[in-house]
Amino acid sequence: MLPMEVAVVILNWNGKDLLEKFLPSVVKHSNKATIYVADNASSDESVEFLKTHYPEITIIKNATNGGFAKGYNDALVHVKEPIFCLLNSDVEVTPNWIDPIVELFEKNPNIAIAQPKIMDYKSKSYFEYAGAAGGYLDRLGYPFCRGRVFQTLEEDKGQYNDNSEIFWATGACMFLRNDVFHSLGGFDEDYFAHQEEIDLCWRAHNHGFKVYYTAESHVFHVGGATLANMNPKKTFLNFRNSLYSITKNLPKRKVLPIIIARLFLDGIAGIRFLFQFKFLHLWAIIKAHFSYYYNFNKTFKKRGFIEKDIKYYEGNSIVLGYFVKGKRHFSQYARKHSA
């Protein structure tokens, strides 16, 4: 059997400097893959740079900047390889980074999405915020990772050197089956950016697919190249989009109590920002809630097949654990999985 063909698809918006810095590693270590750059209507010299220096790379020109979600949805209809790798433009890849992921897909047809180990480009012995060693949700739907809880990053000491089923894979370096991506309807474009990969993974779980992590592949991610972790716009998107995912993907009986708990905790987060004099972040949470209320009916109507018995969460509340009990590491939240 021939190995599965892979398309590495990099979404770009005014990122000429990032392409110039990080494309060399992608080209050098992806000789078995076809490389695409999906350009989100950039106004800089990105496209001209690619045409001049990387004529072998296929450029897909999106008509508008629809963010991460629409940008990839528009681009991926033009990509025919059975496996996509959605790769941020600020990622340095390493030798043999693709093969271990492809092996996962070849060995298990139920694995639809996967990610490598995501390390911090600026501090290479530490995990990176965006995906670390694979993503999870707590009982209230807050995302965290093996190797990252809120702003605390763990040093890589081999504690996550495994192949492991996870709940969500990071959009910074996400491998997906082409047919599954399209059967799920792609990314939800109302998210624009941030946490749309969590929603996609949740929908994949609800349809019986698995999401995996492997430490046999690793990459280095700068992170925050488009929006810094503490940018008010990112605060708005993260708070709103997390509520979207809960509304869309939880069984109906769980939606209301979880949403009420989340709105209460979001209020506490807003008060915390107030006392820290981070008024733009407080305003971002307020706007996130009003946007969620305004779009509630539209979001609720997107609910598809919901697997009632899916174990969507890992541990209880990371808010309580992190801010009250001082639990900073994933191992302090992990529950024992049943077979």
CA dist 129 and 125 (Å) reads 13
Reported as a single tens digit per residue, the pLDDT across 195-254 is 999 999 999 999 999 999 999 999 999 986 455 567 899 999 999 999 999 999 999 999
Q: How many helices (H) and strands (E) does the chain have?
A: 11, 13
Burial 78-112 (b: 16+ CB within 10 A, else e): ebebebbbbbbbbbbbeeebbebbbbbbeeeeebb
Model pTM score: 0.94
Q: Which fold has domain 6-221?
A: Spore Coat Polysaccharide Biosynthesis Protein SpsA; Chain A (3.90.550)
pLDDT of 105 strictly over 90: yes
Which residue type does 81 have? E
One-letter amino acid identity for 138?
D
Cα–Cα distance for residue pair 176/6, rounded to 1 Å: 10
pLDDT tens-digit map of 13-31: 999 999 999 999 999 999 9
Amino acid letter, residue 326 = G
Q: Mind listing the pLDDT tens digit for each residue in 153-176?
A: 999 999 999 999 999 999 999 999
Which residues of the chain are in CATH 3.90.550.10 domains? 6-221
